[in-house]
Structure 1
Amino acid sequence: MRNAAPQLILGLAGLLMLSGGAAAQSRQFDCGGGAFVSVTVSGPNSVVAGPLDGQMMTLFQSPNNPMHFINGDYGVVLSPDQTRVQVEVPEDAGRICVFGAAANNQPPPAPPRPQPPPPPQQRQQQATGQGPSRQFFCGEDSFVTVTVSGPNTILAGPIDGMMMTMQQDPNRPMDFFFQDYGLTISPDQLHIDIDIPDFGRIGCQFGAGAGVPQPPPPTATPQPQPPAQAAGFPIAARSWGGTVRAGPGVNFQKIASLPEGEQITVLEQVDAPFFQERPWFRISFRGQTGFHWGGIICPIGRPVPGMYEVCN
């Protein structure tokens, strides 16, 4: 049976499972005297619970007890079978609340019916926030966000400068694709591999749990810098393999594809917006000229600002 995409990236293994085995994101517990507390999965290591002291609050998973969620002096502890929750409120020893038929109350409402996925041609869109989301570190200050967007779809990006809706492979539930693009999620959901046409495969890892730094806080869009006069163009270099475009940006038409290691001549750095913190360069190759991204250019013999490491 195919795995549904919303079961991915939840991170709270087994949390809030209905007796029939289907995943649910919310459960209501009867605390007696007409009082109820609801617990809802809100992230890979967090829940929203309440009302606690009259308010809803986000609680975070304790590193020592995966069924214990805390925020300051407040907390909830789920029983192993998830039919009871102990509510921890300051100056209160802890109230026990019971779920469902055991408390003679109504079960939680069914999760909303997923909306149909957008048409395949709708490549670039904003993140919808419809489901759990996780950000993966791809190196060189580059990140890719994966968000559940439907029962068998994810929204991933930026990939080649775009956000795209990817469909689940019917035969490999951890593989997703859009046209010639592909994304594979590891079984522990801490690693993804992304296949990009004319570029190859890149690997990305999730957060501190994978031993990589957390993403930096948002900053202003980097402004283009003037071409480095000290670079001494033209420069002999090689391509790491990728697309040559008609202009300095991922929205310009592709005019060629270079294999890894092909020798090129870099004519100048272009005064254009950076892509993933690196500039674009005008290059000469095979008797033609075009534009190549600095992240896939390695200069020969000496480092050049904006380009990848020096070629071996």
Structure 2
Amino acid sequence: MTSVVFVHGTGVREDSYRKSYNRVATGLKRLRPDVRLVPCYWGDRYGAHLAFDGACFPERDQDRALPTADADDPLAVWGLLERDPVAEIELLADSAEEDDGGFVPGRTDPWDVLAARLRCLTEEDLAPGGSAASASTRSLAAELAPYLRQAAEEISAEISMRLSGTAPVPDSEAMAARAVIVLTTRLAEAAEDAEEPLPVDGADRDRLVALLTDRLGGTDRGIKDAGKWVGARLLGDPLLWTVSPAVQAGRRRVIRGVLPESGDILRYQGRGEGLRSRIAEVVALTREQDDGPVVLLAHSLGGVASFDLLALEPSHGVDLLITVGSQAP
């Protein structure tokens, strides 16, 4: 039987490799069902990663010119959220601990419960009830309501992805409500293609946060307490300290998204023998399992590494090399 060893390229990690592998497997099964596909995944072991969890920014006591965040500032959290609606969720995820409550029959993850409640929100949930609501609050609610459902679904997905399986925290409903209101405001501004930000009064915004918090089954702890939590988190963790909270909120996400693409190439150029050895190892194991022809199907950097391997050590028993989107044609 012919065996095809699929070698991925730069920037690929486990989830994306699995998708690519399944796509190739489906195509081969349709065209050549007699061919066996063999995975050759190397991203985790030989790809680029940040050493020391990316601790490359100075701490406060190393550079006193950095601005100081006031842990008692009640507006600190809004400064983060207005630039990144999921910033508070990200900060919590960075410091979250796994839920050690163990398996309990019938027990549901509290974060999953919150995510489910978010998905049930509708436009009506943003309608302030009673005559006590001011005209400005009702006007803001009416302007944001059409975009509430989309925002709630996006925040629900973020909570499920980042916090599911971690220990619950008090007032999580208020945190989710703040994220939803900020994202809803952003969606409203984008839909109207406004040149200026939507005029939002802080008191009206807080009333809508309290309203959604109540709809989600929680009690609003108050923005001042939230500001203390975010400020303490920024000041207490050197890895989260940078020139501004806004930059820091998205730093890890940006770095993790950019690093693999160029980092894998640089690591291969400096220490490429590990990746080549990995390909050779998979080829050898494939040969042991079946003595039929072995084809290397390699994408991008995987094609370069496969070409280099066969040029340096041509006795690996590879019958055919096919490169796709690679500098080694």
- TM-score bucket (shorter structure): under 0.3
Greater RCO between the two (CA within 8 Å, min separation 6)? 2
Q: Kindly indicate which of the two structures has a greater share of residues assigned to strand.
A: 1
Q: TM-score under structure 2 normalisation? A: 0.24
